[in-house]
Structures are given as structure tokens and as C-alpha cells.
Structure 1
């Protein structure tokens, strides 16, 4: 089976997946790919890796979109999209638009508490910039795109990276250690604006464990508290019927961005649940790629 042949397991709520079928991927159509690039080494942990897919017909440095998977900060894999979607669709659409796409694995909450997963995403952006020349990337044109928990992490990268005085404890020094983190655009699919309302869901109901015993991180890691006028353009997309992350989360972040003077666009789809179940997915993916293309 090829990854693009992996079919959604049916309509409606999906049972929790305890495994995924074996796949032998042909890669992303139209791309030259690097797989398993080690963007950071964490002692005592497996290597932190990303995959990169660059348009094979690129004649010069291209923009790069960093894709951050969801999974409630407790599961997920850089190689797979939500099972409700056509696999590889996001990556193929980005490449077809003339942009590279980097897909990132990050530490989950059972691996390490917050803000480790934020540190990992920051380190991935710094790594791509450090090696931009040899990878055929334009370090000045970087965007982020995440869904669900990945949207939270993408928003933290976008907001912290563009802040005049970012909280150093949230950025970290993993991987190459330093370098700019700012991005030119962010797409956020049905992510949370605040973390306090879902704290009880983390780490088997132990909030202290999820945040390393530091309760101040609950507020610091809520995107709505990191909004500022220099934030990059943001596109928020949410289903009005989302039963996991209420649409009010995107509405709250959108309102805060506008109030700060930042460029924010909110699009809400009636009848769509989490992962846009109940509505066509492709138009949302195309809209996101167009948004990123115009700004990168």
C-alpha cells in the first residue's frame, strides 16, 4: 500500500487508532525529498527529525511552509495527515504551488512537558534557515501551517518569532541554538486560543505534569496572550460544529489579533466538525495554499 492509498476509516467519529497500516510511499509528487533530517539532538531521546519536500523543477531558492501535525499534543506523526483527508494532499498542493514543505515531528507530552514541543518547532525553523542554501530554500520566506494542536504550536512560533521581546524560556536553544524564528504568514486550522479550559485533558488529567509543574506556562502558552501588532498575517479556519475545539477559540484569537492591529482573516464553515468532518476538505486546503502563496 502507498500512503496516498490510505483511505479514511469511514464517516463520523473515528475510534482511537492503535496502529497504522504499513506503507511504502512513492514520495510527494513533483518533489525532491529529504527524509529524516535531524534538526535537533535531545540527550536521552530519539533524534528529532523532519522531512522536506522541495519542488523538483525549482530554478532557485523557494519559500518553505512548515507543516505541524495535530493530535492533542499526545499523538501524531509528521508523515500522516488526519485520516479523514487524502494522504499527502497538503504536501502535494504546497509543492504544486512552487513552495517547499517541511513536516516536523516534535516531542509529545508523554515525552516531555510543555514547552518542549514549542522548543522543537522553533528549532525546526532555525534548522531550515541555517541550511537554506544547501536545501534550496529562501530563508526570508518561511510560513507555518498547523491543524488542531499543531495550529497551537504554529501560532506560538508565529507570535513568539515576530515579538520584539519574546519570552526566551518559550523559544529555547535546541538544535542549532539560535537564529531568527519570524515567519511571513501563518495558517491555523481549528486550534485553541487559550489552554486553561483544556488543562484537565493533559497528561492523564495531571495538569502539573503537562506543564512541568509551572502553572504560569498555562497562560504564557495561550496564543491569545502572545498577540502583538508585529504578528505576521494569519488565516484562521474553523468548523462551526467543532465538538473538540470550539469555534469560539478561533474567534477569540482573531478578535485579539485585529485589536492589536495585526492582519487576521477568520473563515468559519457551517456544519463542519473537527478536521472539517461534515464538509469538503479540499477547498480549505486550496484556500490555505493560496493564502500562503500570496504572502510567501
Structure 2
């Protein structure tokens, strides 16, 4: 495996440079997973796939299966509100199209893989671009209006979603709809692999159930894997390898 850390791919005026870490397998022209981290849009790092799961069981596992991984920064909600994050992912994908071949990557075979807030960004990107082969959505919020009703004891203006939108969903409904994958589904969507813990208290599994139902009703190729007893970020799951293996099988299928 070849690992290149800190490749700068964009810097919007007035903001910090954004970078990606690229891990590639020995084979050339590898399909590429564009990874987007979680953290409620307000924290998190491209260096961490999922809290508590080490690199060898996450990033390295994907590369060992024959795929490159580009783990990307995006601006957090304290830096810029939605839709800035979609611009950031576009810039990362554009960089891969421009430079991927030199790095042993086949940017014509891109799959987006996001966790939690990163899954929302991945889903939105996949739903609006035509150069994405598939989306792996792990426990991502899909309906920001329903998330606003999910009481975690925070003032409405201090929730993760409100910070990302710049205001509670009910105050900016058009923005909240645009930031909710559930309302962006069309029959042209790429294949989706959705996985969610049944005991997730931070992002209820109903979020993924609604997205899967909308994708299926539109005739989209969608896999859904509820994980019994799992909490957010796969807490409570003793062995996450099967979860990765299922997602990797999906990546292999859609990039074949």
C-alpha cells in the first residue's frame, strides 16, 4: 500500500486549505472510495474512519481489497454552513479526475462512503452527480426536519443540524429540504448501500428506513442492512469486519 498524506485539493478564499489522504493498492487504475468522516458536521477528522475502529480494520481493509481510498477534508459548520461542504467534495472529486491517473487511481470508478454526517454529504453528492458509481451510507441523517424533532436535550438553534444549516430546519425549510437526501431522491440515483444500527440514539434508524423506502420507490438499486443492537458509530458491535466486508462487496459490484 502507498499512502500519501495531506494532498491539498482546494482552498476557498478566506478559508483554510483542504486536504485528502490517499491510500492506494499496488495495482494500477484502482477504483477509488472517496471517504467522508462523521462528527455532526461540526467536528471530526479525515484521519479517523470511525471512532474506536483502527486503521487496519477500516482504511487498510478497503485498500487490501483492491480499492484506493481518498479520505477528504470538508469545511465544518463552524467554518461554513451548507452547501459549502458539497462544493468541497466536488473539488476533491475534480482533483481525482485531474490527477488520479498519476496516482494509480481510476477516477471513472468512484464510490462515496460516508459515516454519520459524512454519509449525508456523500448521499447528497451521489444524488446530484452523474460520475459516482455508488454510495455507502452508514447511519447518516436523511431528513433534517425529522432530526429537528429528535430531542437530544439541546436548544433548537444549537443542534448539529441547525449549526450546519445556520438556523433550525423549520426556519429555513428550503435549505433543510436541499440538505436532506430523502427529498433529493430521483430515479437517476446511483446504487446505495445503507447500513444502520437498530439501537442508534443519535441518528434513529428511521432516518435510513425512510431513505431506503424512497430509493426503492424510485426504482434505485439499494441494499439495506439493519444491524441489531448497534449504536452510533457501531458502538456495541464486537466485530465490525463483516460490516466492512458487506460494504466492500457492494463497492466491488458497482465498480466492476
TM-score with structure 1 setting the length: 0.78
* Alignment correspondent of 2:55: 87
Match of 2:118 in 1: 150
Question: Contact 1:109 / 1:203 at 8 angstroms: preserved in 2?
Answer: no
2:137 maps to what in 1?
188
Please give the residue correspondences for 1:135-284 in structure 2 after superposition, counting only pairs within 5 Å. 135-162=103-130, 182-199=131-148, 204-205=158-159, 210-212=164-166, 215-279=173-237, 280-284=239-243
- The 8 Å contact of residues 208 and 215 in structure 1, kept in 2 or not, is answered as no
**CA root-mean-square deviation:** 1.9
Asked whether the 8 Å contact 1:81–1:87 carries over to 2, the reply is yes
Deviates more, 1:94-103 or 1:214-223: 214-223
Confirm whether residue 292 of structure 1 aligns to residue 246 of structure 2. Answer: no
Call closer, same or farther: CA 1:112–1:267 in 2, change over 3 Å.
same
Asked whether the equivalents of residues 81 and 88 of structure 1 are also in contact (C-alpha less than 8 Å), the reply is no
> CA distance change for structure 1 residues 100 and 206 in 2, over 3 Å: closer, same or farther?
closer
Retained in 1: the 8 A contact 2:86–2:125? Answer: yes
Aligned pair count?
A: 245
Following superposition, the deviation at residue 81 of structure 1 comes to 2.5
Question: Deviations for 1:92-147, whole angstroms, at most 9, x for unmatched residues?
Answer: 11111111000011100001111111211121111111112212211211101111
1:66 and 1:92, CA in 2 relative to 1: closer, same or farther beyond 3 A?
same
- Separation (CA, whole Å) in 1 of partners of 2:160 and 2:71: 29
Q: Structure 2 stretches of 5 or more lacking a match? A: 149-153
Alpha-carbon distance between aligned partners in 2 of 1:275 and 1:137, rounded to the nearest angstrom: 28
Distance in structure 2 (CA, Å) of the matches to 1:202 and 1:146: 25
Q: Give the equivalent residue in structure 2 for 1:68.
A: 36
Instruction: Tell me the SS of whatever aligns to 1:121.
Output: helix
Given the two structures, how large is their TM-score scaled by the length of structure 2?
Answer: 0.90
- Find the counterpart in structure 1 of residue 151 from structure 2: none
Say if 1:202 and 1:210, in contact at 8 Å, map to a contact too.
no
Moved over 2 A (4+): 81-84, 86-89, 197-215
Cα distance, 1:93–1:208 mapped onto 2, change above 3 Å:
closer
Hey, what's the Cα distance between the residues in 2 that align with 1:260 and 1:81?
Answer: 30
Equivalent residue of 1:271, what SS?
coil
Contact 1:194 1:249 survives alignment (8 Å):
yes
Q: Secondary structure at the match of 2:54?
A: coil
Structure 1 residue ranges without an equivalent (≥5): 1-30, 163-181
